[in-house]
Amino acid sequence: MTEVLTSIEGTGAAESRVSPFRLKPKFAGRIWGKADLKPWYSETGVDGPVGEAWLTGPECVVATGPYTGKTMKQMAEQFPRQLGHGEYPLLVKMLFPSDKLSVQVHPDDDEAKKLGLPRGKTECWCVLEAEPEAKVACGILPGVTRDDLRTAFANGTLEDMLEMVPVKAGDMIYVDAGTVHAIGPGLVLLEVQQTCDVTYRLYDYGRARDLHLEEGLAVVKLKTEAGKIESSAESGFTRLIKTKYFVVDQFVITPGDAFEMPMDGIGCVVGLHGEAAVNGVEFGPGQAVVMPVGSAALSSRHGATVMRCWEPMKEI
């Protein structure tokens, strides 16, 4: 399929329409990560434990088509109307914790704009794998005050004030900005979030990393909407979550099936199981294919499970 299909008119010069393209994951070393990411990835190119695979990060490199070798940042700048007005709006990651992550919090849109950033950081976690006792922390226990939090920061008891949530494979967890949260070991998560990398670390289990207590306390919300989200059956797919920032849908493709899949906003498709293709661009588990607004043919010869992650359309 040809890459340039038509042109998009708007304010400024017309843009050539971009067909779907696959990105190479970008791996990030983390002290809480794993040395072995199999069966998801056989090689990472990183010495030491890897905690995150960024699937749509700005440094991820295009792996298919005429733009092979360009970064996602360069693509978003070259095709602003199709890929996010200079910055791709969704950061999709896979997380591989073998130890507890820090207790942390993120700013919302208004707080981020005060820092000169375009958006805050609301996120969600789809649990792909979970050991029997796996848990995440989502929010503050009822009745906890800001003074309680400040005391807990000082004496190392912050974890005792968190809402601990047991999780299993298939769960979807919503974490709106301002929620104090943490991820425990024994999990593999697919994280979909607003593209913002501001994290205020509140507690880190004695590890020698910087904390951001005052900055974090300034954005903490004592009550949020965070927690498990119930999925809903739609026509041909399962809707896992829908917010104003992102929508995540799961498709189970039977062997030999092919159909048109709409993309009603900027987004991507991520492979979970089996091999699939979008307009002939093949991808497998742990790989993302970026899709501009429109529709594309989703198919699989032997069957696959994929996630569609997209940002609802906004006025531009």
Is 201 designated active site? yes
Cβ-in-10-Å burial (0-12, 13-18, 19+) of 205 comes to: middle
The active-site residue, picked from 22, 30, 81, 201, is 201
CA distance 40 to 286: 6
Please report, in tens digits, the pLDDT of each residue of the chain (316 residues total). Answer: 333 334 454 444 578 889 999 999 999 999 999 999 999 999 999 999 999 999 999 999 999 999 999 999 999 999 998 998 889 999 999 999 999 999 999 999 999 999 898 999 999 999 999 999 999 999 999 999 999 999 998 888 999 999 999 999 999 999 999 999 999 999 999 999 999 989 999 999 989 899 999 999 999 999 999 999 999 999 999 999 999 999 999 999 999 999 999 998 999 999 999 999 999 999 999 999 999 888 899 999 999 999 999 999 764 3
End-to-end CA gap in the chain: 28
What's the distance, CA 240 to chain centroid? 13
CB 86 within 8 A of CB 73: no
Domains and CATH numbers, the chain: 26-59+89-228 (2.60.120.10), 232-310 (2.60.120.10)
